[in-house]
Structure formats: C-alpha cells, structure tokens
C-alpha cells in the first residue's frame, strides 16, 4: 500500500540508516531505531523519505520496516544489556519495545538524571559509527541523544543543536556533575560533545565509547579535545530548575 494511504514506516530492523538521498552511496546522517515510527513524506521506488521522531529527515530503504496506518505504541526502551552483558543485534540499546516482547531483553521505565552515567557506562567499548545512535555504533551526539532519551529526556540530534538547547544553562567545567555536557569546537562551531562524569571527567564517543579526562595532569587526558574546549552545560538546571 502506498504512503498516501498509510503514513508511518515502523522500523523492524535493529536500526535503519537514514540517508540524505535515495541512494546507499549518499551520506548516512542518523539512525532510526527498532520500533520507531517514522512519518512517510514521499516515496521513490523502494525508498521512503521520512521524518524521524526527533524531527530528522532523510531516506530509508523500504526493507527496514513496514508501512502502517498507525504509529507504533512502545511501552519501554531498551537500556541495559542482557544477562550475558550483551545488547541483542536485532534489538539494540535505544530500541522501542512493548512489555510483552518475548525473550530476555531487559527493559525499563524512564530512569532519571542519576542514571545517565550508569547507563552510558554500559556502552563503553562500542565502536564509533558516523550517524549511529544504537549499541551497534554511536557518533558523539547520537550517544548523548540516545542515553538521555532512555533516561527520559529528549534533546536534539546534532551537537550544535544540543549546545543551543542547553545555552541558558552554561556552567564552569569544574562545576559539572555526572551527566552534564562538555562541548568542543573551533571559532564557536561545535564539532564534538561528551558527558561529564563529574568535573573534568569525560565519557564520549570518539573512536569508541570511552572514558577520558580534561584534566591536563591526568594520565588519560585528551589534550586535543582540551585544546578546543568550548563550554559545559547543566542537565540538572535545564530539566529540574
């Protein structure tokens, strides 16, 4: 049935890459996650032009989901690995699932501010992937958006948008608490973002999801990022003023 009759693409793959054009050779800018309802705006052969739940738009190949007249109604979001410490490829971190889904997937209600870093630590070692926002691979802002979404806080997709979103809540680097954000870039242009683990501590996606420091005297200092540090912003003051 055509998109004019049914308006939603429900993602049934672990993730669906969202491309700038109806072409696998075009850049992939983000992921739609398992269970996500993407509004179908247009169709070109076996590609759908969609608007993701976070407002991002692009092209998704039809085999990543099915067309529906109604949005999916998930009850939970996958936040933790299974009993073996693994995220399932078909249902990775950030997947939108229903409570009666069979299997041993751990699901949870929204977790809150104090769980941001514990949730993010479950993702340590996951590889960097441009446009990624699942446990199959993250880019820097995808990690931020996905972890905050699991914890019940919805933020924009790109790092520059995230800095604008938190612009009224800037704090000093040494004032940051676990879950706050550090932004990096040059000439005011944001090129990277990561979570503060408290003060100069940093948890971010660069090469992989990892923990480092912005303390020049620390053994694990990331000097290149310290050199382009822009600002830090409070999650607490934004969502619980």
Over residues 70-87, the pLDDT tens digits come to 998 887 777 666 656 566
pTM summary value: 0.85
Which of 15, 16, 122 has the alpha carbon at shortest distance from 61?
16
Residues 216-239, mean pLDDT to the nearest whole number: 97
Tally of structural domains, the chain: 2
Residue 97 domain-assigned (yes or no) = no
Choice among 102-111, 131-140, 149-158, 186-195 with the minimum mean pLDDT: 102-111
The token pair at 145 is: 């958006």
Instruction: Please say if the pLDDT value at position 50 is more than 60.
Output: yes
Question: Does residue 128 share a domain with residue 54?
Answer: no
Helix, strand, or coil here: 58? Answer: strand
Which of 40, 144, 4, 5 has the alpha carbon at shortest distance from 18?
40
Residue 179 domain-assigned (yes or no) = yes
Question: Does residue 37 share a domain with residue 152?
Answer: no
What pLDDT, on a 0 to 100 scale, did the predictor assign at position 126?
A: 94
Query: What band does 142 get if pLDDT is binned at 50, 70 and 90?
Result: very high
Residue 63 domain-assigned (yes or no) = yes
Question: Does residue 60 share a domain with residue 128?
Answer: no
Q: What is the pLDDT of residues 190-217, one digit of tens each?
A: 999 999 999 999 999 999 999 999 999 9
Range of the domain at 151: 109-239
Residue 154 domain-assigned (yes or no) = yes
Can you spell out the DSSP letters for 205-235? EESEEEEEE--TTSTTB-HHHHHTEEEEE-H
Question: Does residue 211 share a domain with residue 130?
Answer: yes
CATH number, domain of 47, equals: 2.30.30.40
């Amino acid at each position: 049935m055509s998109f004019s009759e049914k308006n939603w693409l429900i993602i049934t793959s672990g993730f669906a890459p969202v491309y700038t054009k109806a072409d696998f050779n075009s850049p992939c800018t983000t992921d739609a996650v398992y269970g996500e309802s993407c509004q179908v705006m247009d169709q070109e052969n076996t590609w759908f032009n969609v608007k993701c739940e976070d407002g991002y738009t692009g092209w998704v190949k039809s085999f990543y989901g099915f067309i529906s007249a109604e949005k999916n109604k998930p009850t939970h979001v996958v936040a933790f690995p299974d009993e073996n410490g693994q995220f399932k490829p078909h249902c990775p971190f950030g997947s939108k699932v229903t409570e009666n889904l069979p299997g041993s997937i751990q699901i949870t209600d929204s977790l809150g501010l104090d769980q941001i870093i514990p949730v993010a630590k479950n993702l340590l070692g996951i590889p960097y992937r441009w446009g990624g926002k699942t446990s199959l691979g993250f880019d820097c802002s995808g990690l931020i958006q996905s972890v905050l979404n699991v914890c019940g806080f919805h933020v924009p997709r790109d790092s520059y948008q995230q800095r604008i979103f938190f612009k009224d809540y800037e704090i000093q680097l040494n004032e940051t608490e676990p879950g706050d954000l550090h932004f990096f870039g040059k000439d005011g242009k944001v090129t990277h973002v990561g979570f503060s683990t408290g003060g100069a501590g940093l948890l971010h996606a660069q090469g992989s999801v990892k923990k480092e420091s912005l303390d020049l005297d620390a053994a694990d200092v990331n000097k290149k990022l310290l050199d382009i540090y822009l600002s830090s912003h409070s999650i607490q003051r934004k969502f619980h003023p």
